[in-house]
């Protein structure tokens, strides 16, 4: 395929690396901001009733503690440590 326009939209590797690096930093900043907001919201709800949907099940109970990487929910004597990455939604 030696068509003259075949390589028209191929960018040099240095530009591709620069673009990927900028994209990664932007995504990382957004993730950190979201995580901080989520943790702040959960801290305010500590001690209250909460429903946490995970890929396996919905866990309902009292939000006992909030940690940087997981939350602790207790229900009828059982305690659940739920990683933030495993939370689909909170109600």
User: Along the chain (91 residues), what's the average pLDDT of each consecutive run of 10 residues?
Assistant: 49 57 64 85 96 94 95 95 92 92
At 88, list the tokens: 């689909």
Residue 35 pLDDT: 85
Residue 34 pLDDT: 82
Residue 53 pLDDT: 94
Residue 7 pLDDT: 46
- How far is 36 from 45, CA to CA, in rounded Å? 14
Would you say 85 and 71 are in contact if contact means Cβ atoms under 8 Å apart?
no
- How far is 21 from 42, CA to CA, in rounded Å? 31
CB burial of residue 35 (10 Å; 0-12, 13-18, 19+):
middle
Say whether domain 13-90 belongs to CATH 2.30.30.100.
Answer: yes
Residue 33 pLDDT: 82
- How far is 66 from 2, CA to CA, in rounded Å? 59
């Amino acid at each position: 395929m030696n068509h003259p326009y075949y390589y028209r939209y191929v960018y040099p590797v240095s530009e591709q690396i620069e673009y990927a690096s900028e994209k990664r930093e932007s995504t990382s900043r957004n993730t950190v901001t979201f995580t901080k907001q989520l943790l702040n919201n959960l801290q305010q709800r500590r001690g209250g009733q909460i429903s946490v949907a995970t890929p396996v099940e919905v866990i309902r109970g009292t939000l006992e503690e909030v940690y940087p990487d997981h939350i602790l929910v207790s229900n009828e004597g059982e305690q659940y440590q739920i990683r933030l990455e495993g939370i689909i939604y909170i109600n």
